[in-house]
Structure formats: structure tokens, C-alpha cells
Amino acid sequence: MKNQRTIANLNINETGIIAGNQQENIPLKLIQMGCTSNTKIMLRMKAPSSDPLCIQFGGNDIALRLEEAKKIAIE
């Protein structure tokens, strides 16, 4: 299995695109807000302990737990 970058690997203000076939890894709350495969996201902020992260997509800033961010691969 090759190592893929995840949302957790992004640096602050860095963008990425959620890789295809990630629907099972994306929390339902994000899918309902329109964050699906091929969505462009940006890491806006990290808490001092790196948990949670603040991501932005479609004009929304959303807090995301580090464990969830590690499951979502990006391109």
C-alpha cells in the first residue's frame, strides 16, 4: 500500500483536493455540507495540539478531528 497524503498532512493555508473514492472515509456531517470526493479544501488553522483542525471548503470553515483528517486522502 502506498503512502498517501491526508488532510492531516497539509500545512496551514495549503490546499488539496479530496481523492476519488473517499466517500466511506468522509464523515457524514461533511458530506451533507457538500464536501465529497474531488472537493478542493484548504487547511486554515490547527489547534496548538494539532487537534482539531480547521478546514475550509465552499466558503465554510469547519472543525475536524485529527483522527478523521488522517482517514481522508488528498491529491
Q: Give the residue extent of every domain in the chain.
A: 7-69
Residue 28, pLDDT > 70, answer: yes
Out of 1-5, 10-14, 28-32, 64-68, least confident range: 1-5
**Confidence grade of residue 1 (pLDDT, cut at 50, 70, 90):** very low
Average pLDDT, the chain: 90
60-64 vs 40-46, strand pairing mode: unpaired
How many other CB atoms are there within 10 angstroms of residue 69's CB atom? Answer: 22
Name the helix (H) or strand (E) containing 13: none
pTM (2 d.p.)? 0.85
Q: What is the pLDDT of residue 8?
A: 94
- As its CATH architecture, domain 7-69 has Roll (2.30)
Residue 27: is its pLDDT beyond 50? yes
Contact in structure between 41 and 35 (CB atoms under 8 Å)? yes
Q: How confident is the model at residue 25 (pLDDT cuts 50, 70, 90)?
A: confident
